[in-house]
Amino acid sequence: MEQRKSSTPRRATLAKRATRVRLLHRNSTGLMAVYEQDGAETGAMPRTLVFESDTIRTRTTNYPENWQSLSDAELSRLRKRTLE
């Protein structure tokens, strides 16, 4: 398998042990990973839902259990609510 070296430096992600991951593509932010983060990992007890792209990192503890079944538009609205 061919491996390509990227000229872009890799940046650290917030995830150490992501349990569920979903990828979104939005015109405004590009490719965005959405994943749950275990609260024990961050020192906080509740689980958090993290929205992460090359330029944006936001998280919320207020999200529905069925977040994976939400549409891309619904997840985008949920992310925007974290910015308010």
**pLDDT tens for residues 27-83?**
777 888 999 887 665 565 678 899 998 888 898 989 998 999 999 889 989 998 887
pTM across the whole model: 0.68
Residue 66 has a pLDDT of: 92
Residue 6 has a pLDDT of: 46
6 vs 17 pLDDT, higher one: 17
Pairwise CA distance, residues 70 & 45, whole Å: 24
Half-sphere exposure of 73 (CA within 13 A, CB side): 0
